[in-house]
A and B are shown apart, each in its own frame.
Chain A
C-alpha cells in the first residue's frame, strides 16, 4: 500500500498517458459498434499498422537526432497524417473484404466475429512475414525532458504530447460527429438504420466513413504510441486492442465520450493496481476490470448509445 502512496503522482501521469492511447483506439470500437452492432475484432491490427506507418515515416524522414520546436510540430502533424491515412485506408479495405460481403448475405453476428478474427490473424501474420517478425525500435523523435515535478511524478514532454494530442483528436471527432452532415448521418444510422435510409442516408457510405474515421483515430494512436515507447512489433495490437475494447465497454460502448472516460479510467486503474500488486499483473488487472464491468454494469458508466451523442 505504501507503494501506492509513494508512486501516486507518477502512476497518475503514466495512467493518463496510457489511457489517452487506449481512448483513441477505443473510439474505433465504439463508432463501429454504434453503427453496425459489431465488435470490430480486427481494429487492434489497424492500430498496429498505424505504429508501423509511423516507424516508416521516421526512417523515411531520416530522423537521427531528437527534434524540437517547429521541426517536432511538423513531424507530429506529418506522421500523424500518414498514420491516419494508412490506418484509415486499411480499415476501409477491411470493411470491404471482411464485413461487407457478410452484410450482403445477411450473415449472423457470430459469422461476422469469426470473419473479424480471421482478418485479424491475417493482418498480423502479413506484417510478421513481409515487414518484420522482430520488435522494431526507432530513433528518439523528441527529447524526453521533464517539464514539471508533481509530488513524486515527473511530467515529461513526451507524455504531455501524447495526452494533448489524444485530447485534440478527441475534440475534433466530437465536433465532427455532433456538428457536421456526415456526423448527423452517422448518428441517424446508429439510431435507426431503416429510417435513416428512408431519409436518404447512404448507409454503405456511412459505414465506410465510420471505419475510415475509427481507423484514422487508431492510426494517430499508433503514432503517439511509437513516440512514447519507441518500439513496436506485429503483436502490439493484441493486448492493447483488448484494453481499448475494455475502455469502450467501461465507458459505455457506442458512446464517444464514454470511450474517453473509459480509456483514462482504465489507464489509471492499471497503473494504480500495478503499484500495489506489481507491474507484471497489469494485463490481469485490465481483463478483470473488463469481466467486472460486463458483470455488474454491462451498459458502461455513461450508458450505450452513439445516436444520443450530441453536443
Chain B
C-alpha cells in the first residue's frame, strides 16, 4: 500500500473522482459494503430479465444466451487466468488447456459413462489442478518468457492429443453430454436447450463463489507472497518467500477455475470438439485480463465482458474480431499497460517499471532516453 501512497499518480479529473469514490467505498462500514455487494449480485441476476435490455445489448441474437456464453464463461476464465497473470505475474499462453481438461472430463464421465454434473465437477477441478501441478512443477523454474512458450506448447499438446485419441472422440469430439440436474418445478433451475437463463444463474453462482475464494486468497499469506514475487522475485526469495511453491499455488488455483468452467461449458454445449480449444481462446482470455487490468477483479470482469460482448454487438464485423484484439493488445501495451480499470497497487508498480518479469532490454531503454540531449 505504501508504494501507492509514496508515488503520486497522475490526477486527471476522472482519476481524482474515481479515487475519491474508491476511498469513500473503503471507508464505509462493513455492513454497508455487504449491502453494496448484495445489490451488485441482484443486479447481475436481473440482467437477463430486464425488458428491452436485450434489444440494446444484443440486437439480432439472444441476450440470455450470450450472457452465459460467451460473457459469463469468459468472465470465469479471466478470473482464473488473472490469478496466474495478474496476481503472480506469470504469463500463461495455454490457459485453454485447463478449460479443455474440465470440458473433456465432463464429456467422458458425463457423456460416455453417464455421471451427474455435481459428481463430475469436483473431479474436473481436481484433474485440472493435477495438470496444473504436473505442468507447473518442472516449468515454473523457467524464466518468464520461456514459461510463456512452454505453456503455449502445453495447450497445443492437449488439443492435438484430444484430436488424435479415439477414446476422446478424435476430431469429431464427444456428443450428448448431460445437462446439470434440474430442480423440479423451479423454472429458473430447469436446464434445457431452449432456456439459457438457468445456465446464466449457475454461472453467476460460480463467479460469486470464485470471487469470494480469490478475494480471501488475495489477502492471505498466499496472496501477499504472489504480490511479492510479482514485484521482485529475487527480493521475495531473499526475504524467505518460497517462490516456486507460491507460483505452483497460482498455477493450480488458476487451473481449478479453468477446469470448473470447462465442466460448466460442456454441460451447456452438450457437444465439444478439439477445435473449441485453440490458441485463439487462450489469447482472448489473456486479452480480457490485460484489457481490464491484470490483478484487479472488477477490472478483469470488465475486460472479459468487453472482449466477449463487443463482437456480439457487431456480428457482421465478427471477422474483424481477432484483428481488433491484436491491435488492441499492441495499443494497450503502448498507451495503457495497466489496463482500463487497474488496482492502485498494480498501477504504481507499472509506473516504477516493475510488476512484470524484468524490464525489456533495460540497458537499451536507458540509452534511448538520452536521445533528447
| A interface residues, Cβ below 8 angstroms from B | 35-39, 97-98, 101-115, 117-126, 128-129, 189, 192-194, 197, 203-204, 207, 238-239, 242, 245-246, 249, 280-281, 283-284, 287-288, 290-291, 294-295, 298
A-B contact pairs, 5 of them (CB 8 A): A105-B334, A108-B356, A108-B357, A288-B157, A298-B143
Does B116 reach chain A (CB closer than 8 Å)?
A: no
B363 adjacent to A194 (CB under 8 Å) = yes
Among B91, B156, B328, B365, the residue within 8 A (CB) of A113 is: B91
Q: Is the CB of A107 within 8 A of B368?
A: no
Q: Which residues of A contact B154 (CB under 8 A)?
A: 287, 291
In the complex, the answer to whether A295 meets B337 with C-beta atoms within 8 Å is no
What residues of chain B lie closer than 8 Å to A38, measured between beta carbons?
Answer: 145, 360-361
User: What CA separation (Å) do A283 and B360 show in the bound complex?
Assistant: 30
Residue numbers in A under 8 Å from B161 (CB-CB):
284
B365 touches A103 (CB 8 A): yes
Q: What A residues does B345 contact at CB under 8 A?
A: none
Q: Is the CB of A287 within 8 A of B326?
A: no
Q: Which residue of B lies closest to A194 (CB)?
A: B363
Q: Which of B143, B149, B322 meets A242, CB within 8 Å?
A: B149
With A103-B364, A122-B323 known as contacts, the answer to whether A298 contacts B283 (CB < 8 A) is no
Is B235 at the interface (CB under 8 A from chain A)? Answer: no
Neighbouring A residues of B148 by C-beta, 8 Å? 39, 113
A287 CA / B150 CA spacing, docked (Å): 8
In chain A, what residue has the closest Cβ to B230? A110
Q: Tell me the smallest distance from the CB of A217 to a CB of chain B, in Å.
A: 20
Taking CB atoms, residues of chain A closer than 8 Å to B363 are 192-194
Best-surrounded residue of B143, B354, B368 (most CB of chain A within 10 A): B368
B22 at the interface (CB under 8 A from A): no
Complex Cα spacing A97 to B280, Å? 22
Any chain A CB within 8 A of the CB of B254?
no
What's the dominant secondary structure at chain B's contact region?
A: helix
Q: Report whether B329 and A283 are in contact in the complex, using a CB–CB cutoff of 8 Å.
A: no
How many chain B residues touch A (CB < 8 A): the figure is 60
- Contact in complex: B357, A110 (CB < 8 Å): yes
B153 with A290: CB separation less than 8 A: yes
Alpha-carbon distance A292/B213, docked complex (angstroms): 34
Contact of A103 (CB < 8 Å), options: B139, B156, B356, B361: B361
Q: Would you give the shortest CB distance from A56 to chain B, in whole angstroms?
A: 21
A114 surroundings in chain B (CB, below 8 A): 91, 286, 290, 329, 332-333
Contact of B368 among A39, A103, A291 (CB under 8 A): A103
Return A159 CB to nearest CB of chain B, in Å.
26
Q: At the interface, yes or no: B298 with Cβ under 8 Å from chain A?
A: no
Task: Give the residue name and chain of the A residue nearest to B280 (CB).
Answer: A121
Inter-chain pairs besides A117-B93, A125-B320, 17 sampled, C-beta below 8 Å: A102-B334, A103-B361, A106-B359, A106-B369, A107-B356, A109-B144, A114-B286, A117-B329, A118-B333, A119-B329, A129-B320, A193-B363, A280-B164, A284-B161, A287-B154, A290-B149, A290-B150
Alpha-carbon distance A56/B32, docked complex (angstroms): 66
For the complex formed, measure the closest distance between the CB of A296 and the CB atoms of chain B, giving whole angstroms: 9
Q: How far is the CA of A290 from the CA of B91 in the complex (A)?
A: 17
Contact A118 B330, beta carbon cutoff 8 Å: yes
Question: Could you say which residues of chain A place their CB within 8 Å of the CB of B150?
Answer: 290-291, 294
